[in-house]
A and B are shown apart, each in its own frame.
Chain A
Amino acid sequence: MNQESLSQIFINACLVNNFVLAYFLGICPFLGVSGKLGTATKMGGAVMFVMLISSICAYGIHALLVAVDAEFLQLISYIVVIASTVQLVEMFIKKMSPALFKALGIFLPLITTNCAILGLALFQTNKGYDFIQSIVYALGAGAGFTLALVLIAGFREQLEYAEVPKVIRGTILTLVIAGIMSLTFMGFSGLGTQ
């Protein structure tokens, strides 16, 4: 059981322990699609959406596995259920709202293997969050992911026009910016304490 307040969970997941900058989860899309501000925003939205869904799924699976005393199947069932849920959601959105599908479409399959999603499911189980706490945790983590992605995309767009030595362009430059951002985000630490 965990007695953290909801606002504490949100702030922790979003700022203090930002998934990208403190736990290094979801680094692949972070390095990959953080070049353009527009794409970064959409990607962030898609991740937040999938996080919310997989958080609910993970909560259900965990309850089920505990009930039948088969917790050793946790990892394998999380990954299978999350992957297939994303697939179902993708088909559902395609049917129901082609416009939304167009906006998110390309990113949904990419997200399945995003470690932030599985990480979220595992962390919420480890921390023993209840249903509402899990949802708030997912929202916080998603918001934090989007924030980090959008911020770094902004930096990178500006740096396009800067004269940077050729050898550090691309990944290296992004990593250095991420490092500095990670230091900056440390300033948020202690927000949750009285």
Chain B
Amino acid sequence: MADTVKNNLEPQLNRRGFIKGCTLAAAALGLSDAMIPKVVEAAATAERPRVIWLHFQECTGCTESLLRASHPDIGRLILDIISLDYHETIMAAAGHQAEQNLHDTVDNHPFILVIEGAIPTKDNGIYCKIAGKTAMDILAEVAPKATAIIAIGTCAAFGGIQSAAPNPTGAVGVQDLVSDTPIINIPGCPPNPISFLGTILHYLTFKRFPALDKLNRPLFAYGRRIHDHCERRAHFDEGRFVEQFGDKFHKLGYCLYKVGCKGPETFSNCPVVRFNDVDAWPVSVGHGCIGCTEPNFWDTMTPFYERLPMIKIPATGIVASADKIGKTILAATAVGVGIHGAVGIGRSLIKGKKQTPEA
């Protein structure tokens, strides 16, 4: 009976769940099933890589998203797979002890650096300070010693909402400040924890990071457009669109293209892996993609319910769609042409037809 209690009720390990998590990560990475034992072995190894997780200008949404990861869950991740030496939200240490943990790892051990949040650079970076130091200084101190940097979330990758126009704090992503350390961007607002965990497990299994696209995003998660894997894609090709939210086409589950879905210009695995174990993602529940994994998405993907950004004409306060401005200019051109022609005809009527030698 004692053994049964130990096997069933001991909270620390559930091998079934662990294997399940590794299998899911292997599938997300596109590995064959023959590789699963290696992933399991790598994830279960005694040498857990040290991870330092720094928070800068952010909302902690990426951490919140990770806390809801299930394969593996956050407990398994930080207790069995990685050694999370510093993470402001979930570490037990506080104050000087926390700072000591951070410096001990930075100075004495190889580690992977995870950064969440953008870094303000204006006015010497005073808009984000932790333990009396600016985010810029902390990054400059820690980043060169890291094995690699994982920029989690769109803020850390590309600046995110902090860097949206007019960018009052001069916020930038990690890749704008760090050049010598390899950087992997896991953008999203928030990113799917599968993409982050897949990257970590890939590193543990192969001792190198996964293949990246030109924006340093792992191809296994950001290699395809949302549009190309969307369950509503057939409605797009067949010309069946939601005209406005709540109409009968919306209830029939038609394509959200005309209500501003940014799936055609956004790279992510959302339609495939979905979120939080409930097989849901924005488009499946009737809301278009807002393009949160792309650079400058707050500036270029808004308005979220229109296909294209508005044009702002400087110094006039005019904000209008490209088509409205285009039509206005085209009409003005037509009017100009008309006036020009009328003037020409009027002139020849007044002056009389000039007798040219050819005539």
Partners in one complex: no
Q: Hey, which bits of chain A sit against chain B, CB under 8 A?
A: none
